[in-house]
Structure 1
Amino acid sequence: MKNYKLKLAIASAFGLNSYIASATGFVALPNTGFTVSDGISAYTLCSTNNVNPTQSANNTCAVFPSSEFRSPGDPAEYTGVRQFPVANKTRPVVVDNTYTTGPTTIGNYVDYVWRSDDDSECIYGVKVVLNSYYQINDIARGGWSGLGVFAAYSTVPVTAHPVSRIGLTYTSVQRRYGYIEQPLTGLGSSPSINGLNAYPGTASSIQQKADIDDNWVNFTSYISGSTSNSGMFYVKSDVCPAMPYTQADNAIRLRRTFQGPGEYFTEISLPGFAPNDAVLTPIHTEPY
């Protein structure tokens, strides 16, 4: 990836975690994880205080495109017509599992690809818009195995909630008040959701873990109620899909991770743009 080796060299010189913690914009997601005080985490922290980013504060992992359609990358890399998506697709978000009486459309999502002017890298973006009461806590995107990847988000529109953390992992970890913000590795399996699928109660330490999986990037945020639009969730990779751009089944997973009473673990599997020959496992199972 363009600038990937340079950025990792800078990170190594000053310590990877200190670089990531102070970074704004796209953050590198190393397949060795992030060192924390008591172990290794697949996740890096973004906005844990639930405050939206600005150009001067709360902006770790955040980018600031002028609109949803503008490239979130360096203007020197994404110029001319490449400032705008080279591919985009809008599809419905349909829930059909043991908790519904049949297929239920709860909104739609827009999937984008921006390509750099020299064709060396692509940015994949997704945004979710709900039209009925529902809750989504995590969005996972697959297809990155063996690649170097960076990730970022924006709060376009400005009413969207920020992203609290981004992980190189398949597993979404339940986030309730008082729970660990940066889950450790050591789970030994790859569930789509890890946590306590009940209320009340408190998850055990093993239910607050997620192992590294370099095929998936997971974003933890909040989409529900009055904030029915997500921000934009971006993954940048040095591999782009060949034209014509096509969406791969099961590339995007929307997760509901049971934040309070009346909820339950749910995963919604959706098609999404992905690098060529992406293998999008584990297989989705209903309801998660």
Structure 2
Amino acid sequence: MKNATLKLAVLGVFSMASAQSGAAFVNIPTAGFGTSAYTPCMAQPTTIGGNPTTFGNFGSGSVGNGNPAPTPTTSANNTCAIVPAPSSDIGSPETNYAFVASATRPIVINNIYTAGNVTVGNVFEVVWRKPAASAPVTATPMCIIGARVSLTNIAYSSAGDLAGARFEVNDLARGGLNGLTVDAAYALTTSTASPVYRIGRTYTSVQHRAFAASPTFGDQGGALPGTGYLTLPTTPGSTASINGVNRFTGTTANALPLSNPVAAEQTANVDDAWVDFTFDANAVDDDGSSNPVSAMTYVKIACNTDTAATINSVYNPTTNPGGWTRADAIRLRQTAQEKSPFISVGTSGYVLPGQPAITPSSVAPF
């Protein structure tokens, strides 16, 4: 199949080129990071009583909790971050990369918590490409695929204890990366964007909650991590879409305080087909903040010279195997960081031709 060998063609060259292109992009190995599928992008307190003054606690420590997430700068809090950020979402995060294609994907929730389809925002995707001969010289063209979540202030449910709830995105997982050498990064292209806290080579989004202090027991966030919640989930472990302690059974909230997670509920198996970005985006968050836009997330891979029309055409294994746009290639996860249920929503996304089918299938609610 066309371009089927590209995904392994530049393993050595690409790794060297990535190291030369700047510290912002970090390599996300197919085998993960030893004891974890994840690597940190912003330091976090790891124990109760740890210093919570600068790190944001995965977004739980935002407005009202005295621990907002810091903005990456050229000198601090900039692991995985493009600093300065591009001037807009369509600006390339690296030199010699030119805009090729873009698409806007609606985020539509339809599960046991909704009364039919509810559109709660969109995912904006962009592809940039560098010719092979452009510095740094590579064996094939290189592509950067960007994705940014934007959420609207609309309730997705009126059922039970979820009446008036707004959809929160804690993780964006991108599929279709089987066997590929991947570098990843993010940029804050707007002042209301959430930074990325960690990036993993995994399908599984692992929950993180604030310390269960009375009277809200983590439902309104907090500056300190909850007991048993890990900055870097361990591996091997879960292959589920979301792993943790679900706040809801059906439309009824479970009693507080929730049980602390057991060790198995803070694990994520390595899956080289997926890269997961953890952040905190919500138009109206339970912790008092408003970050309706996520960071612009980036993956960099070896690619080809396809035109924008081909990149935006819908993949079909029989009639259009060269198309890039595949159903459910992106999964958006609400991981019950505060008072919310586990929800996973799939949207279309760009995938390099030659990749196998996107698995597992998207399931509602998660």
* TM norm structure 1: 0.86
Aligned twin of 1:69: 90
Aligned twin of 2:326: 248
Shift of 1:30: 1.1
CA distance in 2, matches of 1:7, 1:89: 28
Shift of 1:190: 1.2
Cα distance per residue 1:47-66 (max 9 Å; x no partner): 24132211221000001223
Cα distance per residue 1:229-285 (max 9 Å; x no partner): 111011111135833113110110000001122x11100100011111332101111
- Tell me if the contact between 1:95 and 1:104 (Cα under 8 Å) persists in the aligned partners: yes
Residues 1:107 and 2:133 aligned together? no
Change (3 A) 1:65 1:108: same
Residues 1:116 and 2:139 aligned together? no
Aligned twin of 1:167: 200
- Tell me if the contact between 2:31 and 2:272 (Cα under 8 Å) persists in the aligned partners: no
| Aligned partner of 2:235 among 165, 170, 185 | 185
Aligned twin of 2:16: 6
Moved more, 144-153 or 126-135: 126-135
Count of residues paired in the alignment: 263
Q: Percent identity?
A: 41
Residue 283 of structure 1 aligns with an amino acid whose one-letter code is S
Question: Which secondary structure state, in structure 2, belongs to the residue aligned with residue 158 of structure 1?
Answer: coil
CA distance in 1, matches of 2:364, 2:334: 12
Question: Which secondary structure state, in structure 1, belongs to the residue aligned with residue 311 of structure 2?
Answer: coil
Aligned twin of 1:230: 294
| Aligned partner of 2:107 among 93, 96, 121 | 93
Change (3 A) 1:163 1:125: same
Aligned twin of 2:352: 275
Change (3 A) 1:109 1:241: farther
Aligned twin of 2:174: 141
Aligned twin of 2:261: 203
- State the superposition RMSD in angstroms: 2.0
Question: Which secondary structure state, in structure 2, belongs to the residue aligned with residue 86 of structure 1?
Answer: strand
* TM norm structure 2: 0.68
- Tell me if the contact between 2:188 and 2:296 (Cα under 8 Å) persists in the aligned partners: yes
Question: Structure 2: any 5+ residue segments left out of the alignment?
Answer: 1-9, 45-54, 56-68, 133-139, 154-165, 211-224, 248-253, 285-289, 313-324
Cα distance per residue 1:167-211 (max 9 Å; x no partner): 000000001132110011021x41111111135221111000001
Question: Structure 1: any 5+ residue segments left out of the alignment?
Answer: 12-22
Bigger Rg, which one: 2
Question: Which secondary structure state, in structure 1, belongs to the residue aligned with residue 194 of structure 2?
Answer: coil
Residue 70 of structure 2 aligns with an amino acid whose one-letter code is V
Change (3 A) 1:180 1:238: same
Residues 1:24 and 2:43 aligned together? no
Residues 1:152 and 2:152 aligned together? no
Residues 1:59 and 2:78 aligned together? yes
Which structure has greater strand proportion? 1
